[in-house]
Amino acid sequence: MNQTEQVLLQAIQKSLWNKDITFPEDTDWDAVLKEAAQQAVLGTVECVAPMEFRNEWKQRSNHNTAHFLRVLHYQSGLCNLMKAHGIPMVILKGTAAAQYYPVPSQRTAGDIDFLVPGEYIEEAKIILADNGYEIEDDPQYPRHIDVRKNGISFEMHRFFSDGDSDVEVDQYLLDGISRAGEGIMYGRSFPILPSMENGLVLLTHIAHHLRAGLGLRQVIDWMMFVDKNLDDDAWVDSFQNTARMTGLETLALTVTKMCQMYLGLSDRINWCKDADSRLCAELMDNLLSSGNFGKKRGAGLQVESTVSHLNRKGFRYLQQAGEHNWEAYHKHKWLKPFAWIYQIGRYTRQGLQAKRKGAKIFENVDRGKKRSDLYQKLIPGQSKE
């Protein structure tokens, strides 16, 4: 871990926990804030940078805050519309995670994700379309429906798990909708899952991005949830069994101890103390080298992610990916036995394109194997299907 990364982690601790930290005099704050942006935590870190450096990044940070408030405004419109038509729903991630931060608007906002029970999906699509929302329901992506309005992106989820592993969390979440609570932020309310189900969403989100590019934002979301909701009693009484049943217990233990080691989470939380410290360090190294959604990987991300998937699922992944990507197969189903061959050709072309863009193919293949190994360690039993 280099000095820039060390200072970034220290800055997160100072911002979120008000820790008394003195930064090295030779800190390259421009590099630290650039790293924070790549990890989607600029709003969290910018506020503790020295003023002479902060001014250079203030406009971008202010833009992030304005976007957060804009997203919150349009989220309120969506929630009010669904409520007026009797459509049950809950917000996932986003403001449902930001509510745990000391300053919610410091969490970088993305899409507005919301979960709707399956029997209400078609009705919800009609209501949204009738009220000016653009709907794109691609059958190749059954997990969610893309929705847009006024430049804001929404994802209406049929289910939340990615369908790419045996980790099944969806029934827990759908059951939680009937017990939904209310979050309030900057004077606006929104429906949220009960706290333990909300935590399960944040943990599952980490699992999902392990294969493509886990960043600090997803980890901090989980950390802030743990701080507010998951002391030793709550872990034993309310969460441990769910984490175990969904295959996410090792991940929960490891990420939480990692947050204590590197991000300042209180050591009063004892339920994670037996987690493997070396695995914590491996995970932190992985996410620091990846960036939010794998942004730091650049052209090599596709190669790395492909190798990771192939290492876990083998031929079945080639077949599934070929069926998904081959337009000719969508028109001529008799081509199905050849989908895996098409996908091999597709990956070959992508590899050559990545190489032309400067990707170091063999290094990215090696990273992909390491990512797959890390996934196996953190989510035992989910890696080979």
Q: Is residue 308 situated within a structural domain?
A: yes
Local structure of 117: helix, strand or coil: coil
Sign of the CA dihedral with 184 first, then 61, 102, and 98 last:
positive
**Same domain? 227 vs 312:** no
226's CB contacts (< 8 A; 6+ apart) are 199, 256, 259, 265, 269
- Domain carrying residue 130: 85-290
List C-alpha distances in Å: 75 to 30, 64, 92, 114, 153: 33, 16, 11, 10, 10
3's CB contacts (< 8 A; 6+ apart) are 24, 26, 27, 28
Residues facing 147 on adjacent strands: 135, 154
Given a cut of 60, whether residue 166 has pLDDT beyond it is no
| Structure confidence at residue 328 as a pLDDT band (50, 70, 90) | confident
Determine if residue 154 is left, alpha or beta; phi over 0 gives left, psi from -120 to 50 gives alpha, anything else beta.
beta
In the 8-state DSSP scheme, what is residue 296?
G
**Same domain? 236 vs 324:** no
In degrees, rounded to 5, the angle at the alpha carbon of residue 42 between the alpha carbons of residues 41 and 46 is 130
Of residues 370 and 39, the one with the higher pLDDT is: 39
pLDDT recorded at residue 346: 75
pLDDT recorded at residue 385: 40
**Same domain? 348 vs 264:** no
Q: Kindly state the helix (H) or strand (E) to which residue 347 belongs, with its residue range.
A: helix 339-356
**Same domain? 240 vs 318:** no
**Same domain? 263 vs 333:** no
For residue 55, give both structure tokens: 């001014």
Local structure of 209: helix, strand or coil: helix
Q: Is residue 189 situated within a structural domain?
A: yes
Q: What are all long-range contacts of 37-41, with beta carbons under 8 Å and residues at least 24 apart?
A: 38/215, 38/291, 38/292, 38/295, 38/296, 39/8, 39/215, 39/216, 39/217, 39/291, 39/292, 40/108, 40/215, 40/216, 40/217, 40/292, 41/8, 41/12, 41/108, 41/215, 41/216, 41/217, 41/220
The 10s digit of each residue's pLDDT in 253-281 is 999 999 999 999 999 999 999 999 999 99
| Structure confidence at residue 317 as a pLDDT band (50, 70, 90) | low
What number is the average pLDDT over the span 171-196?
94
270 exposed, middle or buried (CB, 10 Å; 0-12, 13-18, 19+)? exposed
Given a cut of 70, whether residue 375 has pLDDT beyond it is yes
Q: How many Å apart are CA 146 and CA 141, to the nearest integer?
A: 10
- Closest to 200 (Cα-Cα) out of 160, 162, 237: 160
For residue 1, give both structure tokens: 């871990």
**Same domain? 331 vs 279:** no
Domain boundary among 290, 316, 351: 290
Sign of the CA dihedral with 113 first, then 142, 209, and 272 last:
positive
pLDDT recorded at residue 296: 52
**Same domain? 278 vs 348:** no
What number is the average pLDDT over the span 293-318?
54
Q: Is residue 51 situated within a structural domain?
A: no
What global pTM score does this model have?
A: 0.81
**Same domain? 223 vs 306:** no
pLDDT recorded at residue 252: 97
**Same domain? 283 vs 317:** no
Given a cut of 70, whether residue 3 has pLDDT beyond it is yes
Q: Is residue 10 situated within a structural domain?
A: no
Percent of the chain's residues with pLDDT above 90: 57
pLDDT recorded at residue 118: 92
What number is the average pLDDT over the span 1-12?
94
Q: Is residue 14 situated within a structural domain?
A: no
**Same domain? 338 vs 279:** no
When divided into structural domains, the chain yields a total of 2
pLDDT recorded at residue 318: 67
Domain boundary among 290, 321, 349: 290
**Same domain? 210 vs 152:** yes
Q: Is residue 251 situated within a structural domain?
A: yes
What number is the average pLDDT over the span 295-300?
48
Given the structure tokens 């309005």, which residue do they identify? 149
**Same domain? 276 vs 188:** yes
What number is the average pLDDT over the span 357-373?
58
Q: Kindly state the helix (H) or strand (E) to which residue 173 belongs, with its residue range.
A: helix 170-177
For residue 283, what is the domain's CATH number? 3.30.460.40
Q: Is residue 256 situated within a structural domain?
A: yes
Given a cut of 80, whether residue 172 has pLDDT beyond it is yes
Region of poorest pLDDT, from 203-212, 288-297, 300-309, 335-344: 300-309
For residue 254, give both structure tokens: 């490891």
| Structure confidence at residue 76 as a pLDDT band (50, 70, 90) | very high
- Mean of the per-residue pLDDT values of the chain: 85
| Structure confidence at residue 299 as a pLDDT band (50, 70, 90) | very low
Q: Is residue 243 situated within a structural domain?
A: yes
Given a cut of 70, whether residue 351 has pLDDT beyond it is no
Domain boundary among 223, 256, 290: 290
What number is the average pLDDT over the span 26-44?
91
